[in-house]
Amino acid sequence: MSNRVQWSTRTSIYGKTGFTSFKPCASTSQDFTKVLALVSALVYCYFIPLHYHLDDWLVSAPSEASCIENTRALLLLCTRLGIQLLEVMAEESKLDQLVAGARRRRQLDHRQLVEHLLQERRVLRAKLMNQHQLHNQEELAYNQLRKSILEEEEKQLLLKYAPHLMPYFSPELHARLRQLL
């Protein structure tokens, strides 16, 4: 007997290739191989993606929900056939779950960090807007003060030099002088 596993496969009309049986090696019995061939043929009819090697069976699916559904269907089929299965979670699966949990926690932490940074950005933007508004108010007050100072200086100059320049004033300047007095 060879220690090498030899797989037999078949291709469906849809172009999918599946394992049907394998020739026994030193660690498997002929009865177990026949049971695997029988179960794989039935599973193939139910379109459950099942991969097996020696005494390990692996159900695969594109999503977690469909994988659970396929596993339930396989367990139900085996119970109907009278086959007792030992459900074992492989270490790789545990590791995958730990990695997925860590990834979810990291994504949650990242999301919380992004929310915190966005909140800080909003606060800083509000502060900048307040500073900008205060700056605009101060600029407006400065311009009004400057305008009033210029008007006051103009008034003082007109009052000081008005008597000497009165004959040269236009009617508009006479009206302005009357407003100031």
Q: DSSP for 53-108?
A: ETTEEEE--SSHHHHHHHHHHHHHHHHHHT--------HHHHHHHHHHHHHHHHHH
Write the burial class of residue 75 (CB in 10 Å: 0-12 exposed, 13-18 middle, 19+ buried).
Answer: middle
- For range 49-71, the mean pLDDT: 75
For residue 51 the two structure tokens come to: 């991969």
The closest of 45, 69, 43, 47 to 57, measured between CA atoms, is 43
Segment 70-116, tens digit of pLDDT: 778 877 887 787 776 655 555 556 677 788 888 889 999 999 999 99
pLDDT at 1: 38
Question: Does residue 61 contact residue 51 with C-beta atoms inside 8 Å?
Answer: no
pLDDT at 107: 92
Half-sphere exposure of 61 (CA within 13 A, CB side): 15
pLDDT at 51: 73
- pLDDT level of residue 59 (50, 70, 90 thresholds): confident
- For range 111-136, the mean pLDDT: 95
Dihedral sign from CA coordinates of 130, 134, 139, 143: positive
For the chain, the first-to-last Cα distance in angstroms comes to 127
